[in-house]
Amino acid sequence: MDLSRPFRVADARAHGRSRASIDSRYFEMPFHGIRAPRGALDLVTRCRAFALRMRSDAAFTGLTAAQLWGMPLPIGAANLERLHVSVPHGRPRPRSRGVIGSERAADVDVIDFEGIPVLGPVATWASLGASLGVLDLVAVGDHLLGDAHRPALATAEQLTEVARRRTRGAPRLRRAAPWMRFGSASRPETLSRVLLTAGGIPEPDLNCAIPGTWFTVDLAWPAARFGIEYQGHHHDSAAQRAADIRRQELIHDEGWLLMEVTRVDLFDAPLAMLDRVARRLSERGMHVAPTNPPIWALPRR
């Protein structure tokens, strides 16, 4: 019997393991009747552990399913300790320490994800309507639509259709659906795009190639030869910073203006960022009429 993965206590006993060895310091008890190697309880392992005692019609949903699929989530939503598990409507909800049980429509797609039953990508996005705000739903939707380097997990038509259903969070889903776009490479890019366009800035091209170079920029307005590049944590090293400066100069040599923004601009001073972009575009001949974006369009970490 493989004790390097979560296992049922009953199965271990049936294979001749003593109760003392099962309850030793080498294992911990994530759920009643289940043991797992101590110190190995990442999300996937916790899901594998609970799956050992789940009913056959149960599946991971909501924020748990989103993390399994690698969907981008705000910090608070991505660090939850409780697992989200759903069953078809009318069935008894899962009740266990560390688990949040819910119901789902009987026809929702369930997929085997490395041996773990989980809602499919479209159904997972729909299940997030009760947990996330509109802007974060747009970010997850953009992720599902893919980009030039990442295959799509859903189509815009599929997401729009599921948003029409009468489910918890459906109004948020319906508000988010028209804002989703193919081509966004990261959550900050989506948040920046929606903030700006909801604030009256013309919609930018995503990951636009700069003529005369081999570079692309996150958000671009080619008619104004202006672009924005989001500088995340991976740009903090000295070597990367030097490369970024060289890149920016080469882009400027082609007559473009490149504005760098950071997490401070996006999350701590979004309205100032909006104003800066509006001024830069106006200076480069593009008429803009910035307005205060709605509350739902203001990014959160």
pLDDT in tens, 253-273: 889 999 999 999 999 999 999
Q: Which two tokens stand for residue 190?
A: 């989506």
User: Which residue pairs from 252-255 have beta carbons closer than 8 angstroms and sit at least 24 positions apart in sequence?
Assistant: 254/210, 254/211, 254/212, 254/213, 254/225, 255/225
Residue bearing tokens 């994530």: 30
Which residue type is seen at 248?
Q
Distance between CA atoms of residues 217 and 230, nearest Å? 9
- Predicted local distance difference test score (pLDDT) of residue 1: 80
Regions of the chain short of the pLDDT cut 50: none
pLDDT of residue 114: 87
pLDDT for 213: 87
Q: What is the CATH number of domain 187-297?
A: 3.40.960.10
Residue 30's pLDDT is: 93
pLDDT at residue 233 in the model:
61
Q: First-to-last CA distance in the chain? A: 43
pTM score, whole prediction: 0.92
Structure token pair of residue 27? 């294992």
- Residue 1 in contact with residue 12, Cβ under 8 Å? yes
Average pLDDT, the chain: 92
Residues 33 and 10: beta-carbon distance below 8 Å: yes
* Domain range annotation of the chain: 54-183, 187-297
Distant-in-sequence, close-in-space partners of 202: CB < 8 Å, separation ≥ 6: 221, 281, 286, 288
What DSSP string runs through 179-203?
A: G--TT--SHHHHHHHHHHHHTTPPP
